[in-house]
Amino acid sequence: MKINSIILLALIVIGCKDNSTKDQPQKIEKRFSYSNTVNPDDFKAVIDGDSINLYTLTNKNGLRADFTNYGQRLIALHVPDKNGAMGDVVLGLPTLDEYMNGPKNNFGAVIGRYGNRIAKGEFSIKNTKYTLAKNNGENHLHGGNIGFESVIWKARQTAANQIEFTRVSPDMEEGYPGNLDVKVTYVLSDNNELKIIYEANTDKTTIINLTNHSYFNLKGEGMGDVNDHLMMINASSYTPVDNGLIPIGTIESVEGTPFDFTTPKTIRRDLDSNHAQMVIGGGYDHNFVLNESPKNSEGLVLAARVTEPTSGRIMEVYTSEPGVQLYGGNFLNGSSIGKSGKPYMKRNAFCLETQHFPDSPNQPNFPSTLLEPGDKYKSTTVYKFDVLK
């Protein structure tokens, strides 16, 4: 009887020991602190039966990206500074209502069907003329009055660090031909990269030029202007524009101009130049023609490298696209109040929009943006983050 009691007690002890460790993590994950995080409840809505929500990606290093499926927008992107402190480096608004009903903006949005401008809102395919909205003076900009930034996308988060957005843009939406089936995948890798993979196919010959319109400030959103950021753009040439910011059709050298970023310089250095192109753009709002090398291990060309000396943050941009648009935040005017509660003022951010060239459908010497039935559109861009050592 005594022996049986000892055996029973031993089994109870073993059982208690096993239960105390069951389902416990094998290692303790580091906790990360994020400031100015948005409230998921402020991004919940149902419109015409379609749900809108907030989705969060994380990686093992604590990077965090918040998205809404309204306009497929990157709301926030937290990356470390040189001391390991997390900071949100993209401009964005604190609620869904402000995106939908506030001043029109493209903060963090996917842009389509055609990023950038199309002259006089028209183009032709095989002698068929198509007419688009003139929503930027006499020209068409960023897909029209209701572009991809203003519609609800289907979202499917496939992993803690990955999400897919899909949508079919119907034939003749905003004047574009063909039913365009689009998928955009975002991956927040453990190499501290935000990778964006665009894919599409069509049932009728069309044009396509997708990009992401995130506004970056590596000091942190709401932390003032970006003019002291050091920028390198891997481009020996650019496409000059007319007064409507439409390319005039030439590809010209950046050498000896304010557009020479082949050696790193502050954004500020040539902002006050009286160069005709700087006057036309009110600063930087131009397409750069990327060099063909160097490339990363995936074969993507290095488009740009930006360093913010105070925080020590570095951002590199890699892409499969032939061009990148540098926009210096020239038209920010304080009408939008950001997540930190501060107004976004002129030049409080910059954009590096990887792309085919503006007005390519009307410029036969530019790389083609035609997509034919049976062909697949695929474009990849990577924003990689690091810090000064």
Is omega for the bond preceding 94 within 30 degrees of 0, making it cis? no
Tell me how crowded residue 382 is: count the other CB atoms within 10 A of its CB.
23
Do the Cβ atoms of 186 and 58 come closer than 8 Å? Answer: no
The catalytically annotated residue of 149, 221, 353, 356 is: 353
3-class DSSP assignment, residue 175: helix
Q: What is the DSSP string of 52-108?
A: E-EEEEE-TT--EEEEETBTTEEEEEEEE-TTS-EEE-B---SSHHHHHHSS---TT
Output the six-digit token pair for 98: 């402000």
The catalytically annotated residue of 140, 142, 213, 286 is: 213
Q: What are phi and psi of 161, to 5 degrees?
A: -115, 15
Alpha-carbon distance 155 to 161, whole Å? 14
Tell me the residue type at 55. Y
Alpha-carbon distance 69 to 142, whole Å? 18
Alpha-carbon distance 360 to 261, whole Å? 24
Tell me the residue type at 50. D
Beta pairing partners, 77: 65
How many H-runs (helices) and E-runs (strands) does the chain carry?
Answer: 3, 28
Known catalytic residue at 213 = yes
Alpha-carbon distance 134 to 91, whole Å? 27
CA distances from 28 to 24, 31, 63, 360 (A): 10, 9, 17, 52
331 dihedral zone (left: phi>0; alpha: psi -120 to 50; beta): alpha
Do the Cβ atoms of 96 and 102 come closer than 8 Å? Answer: no
Do the Cβ atoms of 140 and 134 come closer than 8 Å? Answer: yes
- If we measure between CA atoms, which residue out of 64, 65, 44 comes closest to residue 54? 44
Known catalytic residue at 353 = yes
Beta pairing partners, 12: none
- If we measure between CA atoms, which residue out of 278, 270, 367, 353 comes closest to residue 319? 353
- Residues designated catalytic: 213, 353
